[in-house]
Structure 1
Amino acid sequence: MELQQQPPPRQPEGCLTVAIRVPVRIVVLVLVVPVRMVWDVLAAGARAVHRTALRPLGRALAWLGRTLIVVPLTYLGRGLAWTGRTLIVVPLTYLGRGLAWTGRMLIVVPLTYLGRALAWTGRVLVLTPLAWLWRYGVAAPAQWLYRWALTPLGRGIAWVASGVAAGVAWVASGVWMALVRVGLILIVVPVGWFWRRVLTPVGHAIALVGREVGAAFGHAWRIAGQLSRAVGRGLKWLGGQLVGRPVRWVWRTLCAPVLHWVRDALWAPAARAAAVVGRAAREALGAAGRGAREALASARDTVRQARADAWRALVGGPPREPAPHPARTLGRTTTASGAVPAPEISLRKTEG
């Protein structure tokens, strides 16, 4: 069984501490109680205003803004984005791909081969002779001059400078030690005595007074809070008896039936009609989108075929097989829906 750790014994307080604590707590309590009462009244009023007025008003404004601004702007933005993507972005994308392919084949590839040829010519005719000239005309003489002339001269200068620096350092060290000793005697010793004999006792007294004043403020604030809560509970009970009961009776007897009738007779039919209109609008937008997607698919097939024909015309290749006509299918005699029947081929015309 573990032994419970006993709290450390409190040190005995001096007479000066007790003499300061009692009058300070009395004065602070007299000053703090009215301030705490006013503060609690203001805080309770602010909470009541926020709970009964500001929060419902904010929710109503948020719902109104979302219904009248955010939702319409959202659908408008989606429609504009779809229109821009369908009418501008997709055509420009295919146009850009075609232009990029044409520029690459007609400009980039020839310029790449031309640049490689020019680089090889410059390397052979210019860079190689310049490298040989630098190596044997500049680098070799400079290396010889550095090794046999500049290096011995630099070593001699460094030896002389090291001797002079050693002498100067010895003199500077002696002067520094003298200055340190004089500063210790004239500045550090008097400042230390003044700190120990004067500033330390004064600081202890100021800290004691400040600690007692802070503790008195905390104690007075807690007592004032208890008094304020007791007064607030009494006012709350009195307000509930004089105001709350009549207001609740008026709400249950008059306001609630009227609001229920408005909800059931006006708001619910309007909401159902709006839902029907929204469903019809979504179906119309879906049909328009499907038609636009089919048109874009046809345009993409046409652009792809034109690009293949252009490539074949530029680089050559086997002739393209004609696409089978959609009017007839292999192994069946029926025609595809919505297609024009293919023309019949006469055997006499083929043989002739």
Structure 2
Amino acid sequence: MDPQKPPPPTPPEGCLTVAVRVPVRIVALVLVLPVRMAWDALAAGGRFLHRTVLRPLGRLLLLLAHALLVLPFVALWRRLLVPAGKALAWLGRVLVAVPLGWLYTYLLTPVGHALALLARGIGAGLAWLYARVLAPVGRGVGLLLAAAGAGVYAAVSWLVRYLLVVPARWLYERILAPAGRALAWLASVVVAALGAALYWTARVLLVLPALVLWRRLLVPAGRVLAVVAREIVDALGHAWRVAGRVSRAVGRVLATLFRWILVEPLRRVYRTVLTPAGHLVRDLVLRPAAEAARGVGRSVRQALATARDTVRQVRADLRRTLFGEPSRPASVGRREPGGRATRTLDSSTTALTKD
């Protein structure tokens, strides 16, 4: 909507609209307010129930369903059904497919070829019999039957034409057609007269009274009922909105009272009593207990390490006592002299300075 364009002017309201609006809105507000407050309370309770009960319960049920249904089914499928299916497939291939393939290849195929050759020979014999014997005989019999049928048809058609068709046409053209035209004209005149009489009778007895009733009674009553219905609908909407505001105000007041009566005292007790008591317990009891537990743990670990070293040493001594000292690998002489006797350019050990 263009902000510069002024809003269209509202049509003036009648006295009936103004007289109906105020009591209807008051009654609607009185009736709708308890319903709206109950609806808001149920909605708040439903949201709280959904957050605190239904959603965790749904997650728990989902985990239980996954643990009790999905995982056993997956394990059953992987551990039992898949190996059983592979075993059944192998048995079916070995016990059914291979024997059937062998039977088809070495037994049914040759038998089928032999039966096909036999059927081909029988078909050739029957074709020769049909072409040489049955077809000529059938053509001769057909020609005879066609000639006899043509003569009989010609005789019957001549008799039917001159004994039935010609007299029936004369009767229709000379007697029935004029009589039918006269009866149709008479029936049309009678129907038109009856229709006109029924039309004017229905118009005078039904249409004109119904039209007067519609114009003088039903249309004004409908307009009044439309105004009342529109005002009732508008009043219900207005009452619903007002009841929503009242319900929100009542909810805020109840929330404020709940916070002042229960939440604030509990928070002050938590801050002034429970928190210092918890800190005192932590500093005087829990931390010394934790330090003592850590010291005991270190002592136990040191004792276990000492015990492991002692057991290892005893095992090594027992091995040396029973089997003697283990043989050490012999030292291998290095090709290069060690110590001071290294090769230099002044010594005669090189190939260049050797005498």
Q: Given the two structures, how large is their TM-score scaled by the length of structure 1?
A: 0.54
Deviation at 1:177, TM superposition (A): 3.5
Inter-partner Cα distance in structure 2 for 1:210 and 1:84: 74
Matched residue type, 1:60: L
Which residue of structure 2 aligns with residue 230 of structure 1? Answer: 249
| Aligned twin of 1:59 | 59
For 1:22, the equivalent position in structure 2 comes to 22
Distance 1:164 1:8 in 2: 74
State the Cα RMSD in Å.
4.9
- Cα gap change, 1:3 to 1:50, in 2 (>3 Å): closer
User: Which of 221, 242, 259 lines up with 2:240 in the alignment?
Assistant: 221
Find the aligned partners of 1:135 and 1:62 in 2 and give their Cα distance.
88
Per mean C-alpha deviation after superposition, the further-off stretch among 171-180 and 137-146 is 137-146
| Partner SS for 2:12 | coil
1:182 to 160, 180, 197: 197
Distance 2:79 2:85 in 1: 10
Unaligned runs of 5+ in 1: 255-352
Aligned twin of 2:88: 88
| In 1: Cα distance, 2:4 partner to 2:134 partner | 89
1:131 Cα offset (Å): 9.7
| C-alpha separation in 2, matches of 1:82 and 1:158 | 91
Correspondence 1:105 to 2:124: no
Aligned residues: 250
Distance 2:194 2:144 in 1: 60
Q: 1:204 aligns with which of 219, 223, 226?
A: 223
226-235 vs 60-69, which moves further: 226-235
* Aligned residue in 1 for 2:49: 49
Shift of 1:91: 3.7
Change (3 A) 1:76 1:8: same
Q: Which amino acid aligns with 2:200?
A: I
Q: CA deviation at 1:34?
A: 1.6
| 2:76 alignment partner, SS class | helix
Aligned-residue sequence identity (percent) comes to: 39
- Quick one: structure 1 residues 74 and 143, their matched pair in 2 at CA, closer, same or farther if it must change by over 3 Å? farther
Structure 1 Cα separation of the partners of residues 6 and 257 of structure 2: 48
Shift of 1:137: 4.5
CA–CA distance in structure 2, aligned partners of residues 49 and 67 of structure 1: 26
* CA–CA separation in structure 2 for the residues paired with 1:135 and 1:214: 93
Deviation at 1:21, TM superposition (A): 0.9
Cα distance per residue 1:113-156 (max 9 Å; x no partner): 77776699499489978899789858975997998768x94995
**Inter-partner Cα distance in structure 2 for 1:88 and 1:25:** 79
Note the C-alpha offset of 1:74.
Answer: 2.0
CA 135–240 in structure 1, closer or farther in 2 if over 3 Å, else same: farther
Please state how far the C-alpha of 1:13 moved relative to its aligned partner.
1.3
2:43 maps to amino acid: A
Q: What SS does structure 2 have at the residue aligned with 1:58?
A: helix
Give the drift of 1:24.
Answer: 0.8
Query: Does residue 192 in structure 1 map to residue 247 in structure 2?
Result: no
Distance 1:111 1:42, change over 3 A: farther
Cα pair distance change 1:72/1:22, threshold 3 Å: same
Q: Which whole-Å CA distance do the structure 2 matches of 1:208 and 1:35 have between them?
A: 25
In structure 2, C-alpha distance between the alignment counterparts of 1:62 and 1:228, rounded to whole Å: 37
Using the alignment, how far apart are the partners of 1:236 and 1:120 within structure 2? 108
State the match for 2:77 in structure 1.
77
- Which structure has more relative contact order (CA 8 Å, sep 6+)? It is 2
The aligned amino acid for 2:220 is P
The structure-2 alpha-carbon separation of the partners of 1:99 and 1:223, relative to structure 1 and needing over 3 Å to count, comes to same
Closer, same or farther: CA 81–198 of 1 in aligned 2, 3 Å: same
Task: Give the Cα–Cα distance (whole angstroms) in 1 for the partners of residues 139 and 253 of structure 2.
Answer: 101
| Distance of 1:214 and 1:166 partners within structure 2 | 66
**Which amino acid is 1:105 matched to?**
T
| 1:11–1:143 distance in 2 versus 1, CA, 3 Å | farther
| Greater gyration radius | 2
Q: Distance in 1 between matches of 2:253 and 2:216?
A: 57
Amino acid at match of 1:221: W
How big is each residue's C-alpha offset from its partner over 1:250-304, in whole Å with a ceiling of 9 and x where there is no partner?
A: 9x999xxxxxxxxxxxxxxxxxxxxxxxxxxxxxxxxxxxxxxxxxxxxxxxxxx
Distance in 1 separating the partners of 2:118 and 2:109: 14
1:312-327 aligned at under 5 Å gives the runs none
What's the offset of the Cα at 1:17?
Answer: 1.1
User: Aligned partners of 2:80 and 2:134: how far apart in 1?
Assistant: 59
Structure 2: how far apart are the matches of 1:245 and 1:143? 121
TM-score (norm 2): 0.53
1:186 maps to a residue whose letter is: T
Q: CA deviation at 1:238?
A: 4.3
- What do the CA deviations read for 1:68-117 (whole angstroms, capped 9, x no partner)? 22111122134343134212235435624753671862676666677776
Partners of 1:134 and 1:175 in 2: CA distance? 62
Q: Find the counterpart in structure 2 of residue 36 from structure 1.
A: 36
Map 1:254-293 → 2, pairs under 5 A: none
Cα 1:55/1:135, change in 2 over 3 Å: farther
